[in-house]
Amino acid sequence: MPSVKVYIHFVWSTKNWVAHLDSPELRKVVWQHIKENSETKNIYIDFVNGHKNHCHCLISLGVDQTIQKVVQLIKGESSFWINKHGLTKQKFEWQDEYFAVSVSESAIDKVRNYIKNQEEHHRHKTFEEEYEEFIRIYGFQKFTDDSSTSSR
């Protein structure tokens, strides 16, 4: 049996960066649901948190899991669940784009603390500023097609 330990820091936003998750209480419910639902799909979320218009997850990938499939399962199910339970004023959707960055074992605590402290972090920096910083720090390139900007 293979032994694998691969941590990925995922970040994704609400569609058009709308602040649907506008209260700490709502965010707590959504993050808890994401964690619990992921467990039923054998997705190990080490830590999940975020702010009004985005989500951060630190995930340890299983041997047969792909980045694309994991993020698709989490985002798809959670947006369905949020809408099914009428948790937001308008229809809830996640943006198609996302960031996924590998995390070394030595940086796990640093990333965990960064995710944990989103409320404080976003008192000083907007998600837009954080987004641009991610692009710069991790060397993502911006590509513009017909109607959207995406990163890779």
12 pLDDT above the threshold of 90? yes
Alpha-carbon distance 39 to 19, whole Å? 26
Flag whether pLDDT at 146 surpasses 60.
no
CATH of domain 6-151: 3.30.70.1290
CB atoms within 10 A of CB 50: 23
Q: Is residue 150 very low, low, confident or very high in pLDDT (cuts 50, 70, 90)? A: very low
C-alpha dist (Å) from residue 110 to 22, 80, 114, 116, 123: 26, 31, 6, 10, 19
Non-local CB neighbours of 40 within 8 Å, separated by 6+ positions: none
Q: Cα(89)–Cα(125) distance, rounded to whole angstroms?
A: 25
Read off the pTM: 0.84
